[in-house]
Amino acid sequence: MQTQFDRQKSSAGSKLVHLSALYLFIYYGLGAFTPLIMQYYQSINLTGTQIGLISATTPIVSIVTQPLWGMICDKFQIRKGVLVLTLLVSGLIGLLFPAVSTFALVLILYTLLSVFQSAVVPVSDSIALGYVKKYQLQFGDIRMWGAIGFALAAFVTGLLIEKWGPSVIFISYFAAMVAAILFLQRVPVETAAAPKFTTSMLAGIKDLLKLPRFLLFLAASFFVFGSINANNIWFSLYYQEIGGTVAGVGLAFLLFAGSEAPCMKLAGYCARRWGLELTILLAASVSAVRWFWYSSAPSTTAVIALFFIQGISVGFYLATAAQFVRENTPAALQVTALALFFSVGHGLGTMLCNLTAGWIKDTYSTLSIYLFFGSVTILGLIPLLLIRFGPWKAVEEKEDVGVTG
């Protein structure tokens, strides 16, 4: 006869499988879309400045929409419903891209996509973090399936583009979003349970910005995440400029994102042994070195051979950043904190990097873009060093954040 402990263990394992599959397909969609969208832009003859403006749309929109999505999730406790809605609508909007070919229409469509797509990562992360906290696991163990999905999508879609053209990007994106919804349905609502939200969005943000460690981490993420996300857009163009092919771009992202999965697992070990701060500091330092190296125009063989640099930099950072936010913010403001974190790093930081990269591409060269990325990441190391070695180096006792009605 199955004991209660066995049933609980079986239920926990089932949730882990469904959450892992959810991440696999969410990031499969993102992996088909983000690193290869440059092929679509080139097919309709957009300039570097136009690409920079379009790429900056998601960050600009997310500055407003991510905190709003977070507020809705926290206040009404409907994370699962919000995630289903945003996955479905963003997938449907993606299908419309092959029908447009002018800068103005692409910009409008991308803006609409961004409104819904901006909720997907922070809301799915909040659901997974609830599970991680309940069962005392490492977030990286679930998040690594996203890296696997991203890697597979970039490789497969890169091959398909050479055969059938850029429209494959949007079909793949839609199919992955639908698959993610199917697995999300099997994630119990209680997985996303959180303390009752009783504050306004503005009051919550105000309270969060009173926390020095969180504020410093927002500043670091502005620079570090900004360049990481912008690289996903510009790498395709960069790789072809140094002699690569579209299929080679897919192979590169397969190896890059594929290296993230084991590194995310390793990040959990490093975080337990040396702490989150040092693990994140290592990831950001490796990122800076990587961007400066790319600016020196290495051979495509060297870029592919040193693919694991992506895992050490991006994999470590992604596996630990959300956990740092959770451990350094009040439980009642968890989703809002994550949404604010994504708005600053994936929002403002990415906006700056994409807009500047577009201008640099038209004015100087694609190689100069990576010199800029390296310089920006160096700036991000400063607040990380203050977190680890400055006045707030000790893990602070969370203050009783005033929650107002």
Q: What mean pLDDT value characterizes the chain?
A: 84
Better-predicted residue by pLDDT, 372 or 308: 372
Q: Is residue 116 helix, strand or coil? A: helix
Q: What is the pLDDT of residue 14?
A: 66
Q: What domains are defined for the chain?
A: 10-196 (1.20.1250.20), 199-392 (1.20.1250.20)
Q: What is the pLDDT of residue 128?
A: 83
Compute the average pLDDT of residues 155-174.
Answer: 92
Q: What is the pLDDT of residue 206?
A: 77
Q: What is the pLDDT of residue 232?
A: 86
Helix residue ranges per DSSP H, 242-391: 246-274, 276-294, 300-305, 308-310, 316-327, 334-342, 350-363, 366-389
- Return the closest-CA partner of residue 117 out of 355, 351, 352, 342: 342
CA gap 315, 371 in Å, rounded: 22
pLDDT at 222 over 80: yes
Q: What is the pLDDT of residue 299?
A: 94
Better-predicted residue by pLDDT, 204 or 240: 240
What count of other Cβ atoms lies within 10 Å of the Cβ of residue 222?
23
Compute the average pLDDT of residues 342-364.
Answer: 88
What is the tens place of the pLDDT at every residue in 244-262?
Answer: 888 888 889 888 877 877 8
pLDDT at 197 over 60: no
- Amino acid present at 304: I
From the number of C-beta atoms within 10 Å of its C-beta (0-12, 13-18, 19+), residue 12 rates as: middle
CA gap 91, 358 in Å, rounded: 26
Phi-psi category of residue 246: left, alpha or beta, with phi > 0 → left and psi -120 to 50 → alpha: alpha
pLDDT at 194 over 60: no
Compute the average pLDDT of residues 46-72.
Answer: 85
CA 26 from centroid of its chain's CA atoms: 11
Tokens describing residue 310 = 């992506």
Tokens describing residue 66 = 């991510």
